[in-house]
């Protein structure tokens, strides 16, 4: 997988992602590029200085600026290990489950807000869902190097397991109770629906709570990643984690 943005490359070099090769355009040695080279060499990552034409020829988007990096394919976390780690944090944890989010930009933005809000991880289904790819990594601003992401066969089974482990299942739906009137403390699993269908009916039935965000405008809907961020930070506020 090829990364072409500086922030995602630095996060990959600082995280648990395996960076195989760092490509550097000859003559492009700004502070960020120099920092990336130093990090790469400290981790025995191969650094290749390329003439401008050769560098641009390797770019898949044509928008790379100064550096690119080849990383190994994204390695998903084991779901039960993710849950175990979340419970071992010694504080109230949040795990995000995505019920059919197919836009990689949304997935990347959700992983980014998961990291910023201190969520323990993100769970996605194997089918009818975006997977972690270069677009997701770029949109997450490198947060994929820090947030565990698990891929499960059946999201309903994942919810049942989380309930067994003591998590309260909170699903986001326009017909739900306002987040400002809902207890979002303790260990919660926040379920966010896809761009089209939203949350499936069985997921709602398995949920302990269904919540909504007050809509005061005329459009009456929010992007999945924006909605996730609002709910996560209301939970952060209620948990006193500020």
H/E segment holding residue 99: strand 94-99
Out of 71, 89, 105, a domain closes at: 71
Q: Which domain CATH number covers 155?
A: 3.40.1280.10
Tokens of 63: 């928008």
Instruction: Show the domain range for 45.
Output: 2-71
Last-in-domain residue among 36, 71, 106: 71
Packing angle of the helix pair 224-239, 104-116 (nearest 10 deg): 10
Rounded to whole angstroms, what are the CA distances from 232 to 34, 191, 238? 36, 11, 10
The label of the residue with tokens 């836009």 reads: 103
The predicted structure's pLDDT at residue 16: 67
Predicted confidence (pLDDT) at residue 17 exceeds the cutoff of 80:
no
DSSP tag of 200: -
| Residues forming a β-bridge with 217 | none
Q: CA nearest 236: which of 197, 192, 198, 184?
A: 184
Pair (57, 124) in one structural domain: no
Q: How many domains does the chain have?
A: 2
Residue for token digits 């390797």?
58
Q: Are residues 233 and 178 in the same domain?
A: yes
Per the CB < 8 A criterion, the answer to whether 11 and 41 are in contact is no
Our measurement of the distance from residue 112's CA atom to the centroid of its chain's CA atoms, rounded to an integer in Å, reads 5
Average of pLDDT values for 39-53? 90
The pLDDT > 70 percentage for the chain reads 99
Q: Note the pLDDT of residue 242.
A: 62
106 and 56 within one domain: no
123 pLDDT higher than 80:
yes
Q: Which of 84, 207, 71 is nearest to 136 (CA)?
A: 71
pLDDT of residue 232: 97
Identity of the highest mean pLDDT range in 21-25, 67-71, 80-84, 215-219: 80-84
pLDDT digits (tens, 9 = 90+) for 70-104: 887 788 999 999 999 999 988 899 999 999 898 99
Same domain, 15 and 119: no
- Beta carbons of 136 and 124 less than 8 angstroms apart: no
User: Are 125 and 84 in a shared domain?
Assistant: yes
Regarding whether 177 and 225 lie in a shared domain, the answer is: yes
């Amino acid at each position: 997988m090829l990364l072409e943005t500086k922030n995602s490359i630095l996060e990959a070099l600082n995280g648990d992602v395996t960076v195989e090769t760092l490509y550097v355009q000859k003559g492009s040695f700004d502070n960020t590029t120099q920092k990336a080279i130093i990090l790469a060499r400290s981790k025995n990552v191969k650094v290749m200085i390329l003439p401008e034409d050769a560098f641009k020829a390797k770019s898949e988007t044509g928008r790379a600026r100064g550096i690119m990096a080849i990383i190994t394919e994204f390695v998903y976390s084991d779901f039960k290990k993710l849950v175990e780690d979340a419970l071992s944090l010694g504080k109230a944890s949040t795990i995000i489950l995505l019920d059919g989010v197919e836009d990689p930009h949304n997935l990347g933005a959700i992983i980014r807000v998961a990291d910023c809000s201190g969520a323990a991880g993100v769970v996605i289904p194997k089918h009818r869902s975006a997977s972690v790819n270069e677009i997701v990594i770029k949109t997450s601003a490198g947060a994929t190097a820090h947030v565990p992401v698990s891929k499960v066969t059946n999201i309903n089974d994942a919810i049942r397991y989380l309930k067994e482990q003591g998590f309260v299942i909170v699903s986001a739906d326009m017909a739900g109770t306002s987040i400002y009137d809902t207890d979002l403390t303790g260990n919660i699993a926040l379920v966010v629906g896809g761009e089209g269908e939203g949350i499936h009916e069985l997921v709602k039935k398995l949920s302990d709570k269904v919540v909504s965000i007050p809509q005061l405008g005329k459009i009456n809907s929010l992007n999945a990643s924006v909605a996730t961020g609002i709910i996560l930070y209301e939970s952060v506020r209620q948990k006193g984690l500020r």
